[in-house]
Structure 1
């Protein structure tokens, strides 16, 4: 069991958006090793069918188990969770598994106006899993649901571009223009009666455009994302399974070992890793996952 504790945790997403979850995992689990896989060659998942996303999810899970001997898996993608989490649990019952779903339950605890906005990919927000979740909360709040076609993919592309200088209008960038389109379609934001006072970020990519979203929704609107809750749940599962890595001599003083893999161009992952996690380019590599 002591050897199993030192095995890495697998984390995957359709692209670089899941790095927001990895960032939270690294903060909450400082002695763990991680292998992150961005399936960028097959992104965006949110605009593909369930069968396709399910097949990719199974292929990546098998790859991470066979090639990296992961001790747990975090599906850092709302769309993949909705399409395939139940099948993965059935196929790998001994594998501690954490998935994502839009955090609309936590949003209920903080909304004061009773109007909650939810943004996500079309694949997530039209899934049977999300529909069931929404139905279970019927009557507790009014949910304004907005699919954001193209936004996750635009965020992926933006990492290869220079960051906008301070004062750049939101609509001057591709991501900002898409945020403006979708936030504008949802109605009024604010804390007055009838306004949306809470916004659920239902895609892991969206935390990386929080500045643009904040400029559009206003400073009083509360944002709800899933990175920290997922990290807490991962820690609970590892503790229950006796798989939580413990500091061991000099190892406790070392930075966590993190490998970043992509099925697409490595430059995009390197840029995202440096910008969002402060990780060096040499921790990234391209792999093939048939």
Structure 2
């Protein structure tokens, strides 16, 4: 397939969490044009049903691909990836990269053999996570906890709002207070929002914890899939797309610009 140099990379999330995936991708591919889409009308995904997400995500990505003609799409959302990735791949005729919990590297690095998986409620209950834990963490205790409040904390941080440290503390307590949680040494950030508040999580931890997520691995995957494709010497400014333009979008403009997304549009 011939790819135009100005064909963008498309990143998709329910909100701004996918910026944690975009950042390492921009470092790996600095000349890549970027379209970042946030489904603000459907946010947050973590409290929605599997059926809603499985229907909504492929339909939205189909509209985005039709409008922006990307060379590749990244579902920069663990919840959407663990539920809808196969549906999206079946619906689109471009490569689609998903975001899955980094349980494999966590199992490789954990010394105590107790791993936490911190995600949304929808992600941590998925059979996909069961399979990852069984395949890569069979000799580990894998604790799970879902936190909707931590997703909201990340969004608030990027809007420049004051943050309540109790939210990060409570999210970690959901893992640490489980049986074996006191021996946990590694936490998989299984929601792309959570790396945005890693500093807050580290500050709330009662003992040092290693936090892992998949951003750099996804950047390497994108670079591999586009390795022989042309890029513009001077790409256009990145675009941030929102499915609903409400009063939560305008306070994000400064943060979006810092990620190379100075243009904001509605889908």
**Common fold by TM > 0.5:** yes
Q: Which residue of 1 aligns with 2:230?
A: 245
Return the alpha-carbon distance in structure 2 between the equivalents of residues 100 and 282 of structure 1. 25
Structure 1 residue 186: Cα displacement: 2.0
Q: Which residue of 1 aligns with 2:112?
A: 113
Q: Report Cα offsets for 1:11-45 as digits up to 9, x if no partner.
A: 10001111111111111111111111000111100
Structure 1 residue 237: Cα displacement: 1.4
Higher mean alpha-carbon deviation, 113-122 vs 219-228, is at 219-228
User: Aligned residues, how many?
Assistant: 265
> Gapped runs of 5+ residues in structure 1?
165-172
Q: Report Cα offsets for 1:216-236 as digits up to 9, x if no partner.
A: 225732110111111111111
Return the alpha-carbon distance in structure 2 between the equivalents of residues 64 and 185 of structure 1. 36
Structure 1 residue 58: Cα displacement: 1.0
Q: 1:138 to 1:278 in 2, by over 3 A?
A: closer
CA RMSD of aligned residues (A): 2.5
Q: 1:28 to 1:209 in 2, by over 3 A?
A: same
Q: Which residue of 1 aligns with 2:75?
A: 75
Q: 1:268 to 1:21 in 2, by over 3 A?
A: farther
Higher mean alpha-carbon deviation, 273-282 vs 141-150, is at 273-282
Q: TM-score, normalised by structure 2?
A: 0.89
Task: Find the residue that maps to 1:4 and give its secondary structure.
Answer: coil
Residues 13 and 75 in structure 2, CA contact (< 8 A), matched pair in contact too: yes
Higher mean alpha-carbon deviation, 215-224 vs 144-153, is at 215-224
Larger gyration radius, structure 1 or structure 2: 1
Structure 1 residue 267: Cα displacement: 5.6
Residues 14 and 45 in structure 1, CA contact (< 8 A), matched pair in contact too: yes
Q: Which residue of 2 aligns with 1:143?
A: 142
User: Within the alignment, does 1:283 sit opposite 2:263 as a pair?
Assistant: yes
Residues 14 and 42 in structure 1, CA contact (< 8 A), matched pair in contact too: yes
> Gapped runs of 5+ residues in structure 2?
none
Matches within 5 A, 1:120-199: 120-162=119-161, 164=162, 173-174=163-164, 176-187=165-176, 195-199=183-187
Return the alpha-carbon distance in structure 1 between the equivalents of residues 83 and 260 of structure 2. 33
Task: Find the residue that maps to 1:102 and give its secondary structure.
Answer: coil
Task: Find the residue that maps to 2:41 and give its secondary structure.
Answer: helix
Return the alpha-carbon distance in structure 1 between the equivalents of residues 254 and 3 of structure 2. 31
